[in-house]
Amino acid sequence: MNPMMAAKAYASIQGGAMPTAPVQGPAQSGFAEMLTSVMGDMTQTSKAAETQMAASVQGQGSLIDVVTAVSSAEASLETVMAVRDQVIQAYQEIMRMPI
């Protein structure tokens, strides 16, 4: 039994309808889009921090800007790691459910 079969069985017991195929379209919003957005934000803040550090090394940037950019990148990375940990924890909890 795979996880999709388990999810369908659980949905049928609960009386809910489980879609057979993922809904796709231009207005798709949900967990996958949120993850993509968070990862994109983390990548952008990391690149901004790298740019600030490079400018500072060349003598063109302010130390305050570098510290601010690095702190922002660190906060974004911690957010991504927290989301990853919660996803893994949720997956493990689902896998422990009796069927």
% of the chain at pLDDT higher than 90: 10
Domain map of the chain by residue range? 28-96
pLDDT at res. 14 = 60
Could you count the other beta carbons within 10 Å of the beta carbon of residue 20? 7
Q: What is the mean pLDDT of residues 65-84?
A: 86
% of the chain at pLDDT higher than 70: 71
Q: Return all residues near 73 (Cβ < 8 A) that are at least 6 apart.
A: 42, 45, 46, 48, 49
pTM for the model: 0.57
Residue 17: pLDDT band with limits 50, 70, 90: very low
Q: What is the mean pLDDT of the chain?
A: 77
